[in-house]
Amino acid sequence: MTTATARTARKKLTLGDAAREFAKHPSPWMIGAVLAVAVAARIVVGDWQITDAVVPLVMLALFPFFEWMIHVFILHWRPRRLGALTIDPLLSREHRAHHVDPRSIPLIFIPWKSLASWVLPLAIGVALLAFPRLGMGLTYLVCIAVAGLGYEWTHYLIHTDYKPKTRVYRAIWRNHRNHHYKNEHYWFTVTSSGTADRVLRTYPDPATVENSPTAKNLHAELPA
């Protein structure tokens, strides 16, 4: 295939094409498995109450801020030395590599080792221990798994050659592309635009922001 033909083929990427590639990676399957078990367990437990309707509403309102904090404080973590130990989590290392090469598909997804070792166990632990009712905790687990799948799909799709076709997705797409290709210090939300970033003052007018020399090399030391 010639370069011109390859470029044409990329421009014709459909949602179906994107979904087939998405399904080849472990994180959607791991999160999907938790979702399936959580839904089944929630149905078996029953005990439906009004608070089960409140949980998704609260999570919908808070998720952009949760996403923002994870992005700022974990994904953009600067490696730190503690004696002979360097504190540099896998999520942070993989995210730096993602900034270096935003089009590398494997680097787009949450690392499966992080999901298996602490992300999914933490979500399950919160569901089982942090709520006054098991049913309410399982409702939370269903919601956080849906949010996780939505995050993985949205983040993946933004970094493909699929072109925005709706106003909402175009805004989300532009928001995250600005983070990668203009300035990594702004636009930290991924599944929404102008939500937590507006409140937390990381949503400037792109025309007023300079292109960052470290957008593809986080924490790089610039020459004096």
The pLDDT assigned to 214 comes to: 95
The pLDDT assigned to 12 comes to: 80
pLDDT in tens, 135-145: 999 999 999 99
User: Is the alpha carbon torsion for 72, 73, 78, 79 positive or negative?
Assistant: negative
Distance, CA of 70 to CA of 147 (rounded, Å): 14
The pLDDT assigned to 211 comes to: 95
What are the structural domain ranges in the chain? 15-166
The pLDDT assigned to 6 comes to: 41
The pLDDT assigned to 220 comes to: 77
Distance, CA of 166 to CA of 28 (rounded, Å): 24
Distance, CA of 134 to CA of 45 (rounded, Å): 8
Asked whether 75 and 95 are in contact (CB, 8 A), the reply is: yes
pLDDT in tens, 163-182: 898 999 999 999 999 999 99
Residues of the chain with pLDDT under 50: 1-9, 224
Among candidate residues 99, 70, 104, 107, the one with its CA nearest the CA of residue 180: 99
Q: Facing residues of 81 across strands?
A: 86
Structure tokens at 177: 């592309």
DSSP element (H, E) containing 85 = strand 85-87
The pLDDT assigned to 222 comes to: 52
Distance, CA of 157 to CA of 79 (rounded, Å): 29
Asked whether 154 and 190 are in contact (CB, 8 A), the reply is: yes
Among candidate residues 159, 182, 33, the one with its CA nearest the CA of residue 102: 159
Distance, CA of 201 to CA of 16 (rounded, Å): 36
The pLDDT assigned to 221 comes to: 59
Distance, CA of 213 to CA of 219 (rounded, Å): 10
The pLDDT assigned to 4 comes to: 42
Asked whether 216 and 181 are in contact (CB, 8 A), the reply is: no
Distance, CA of 80 to CA of 72 (rounded, Å): 15
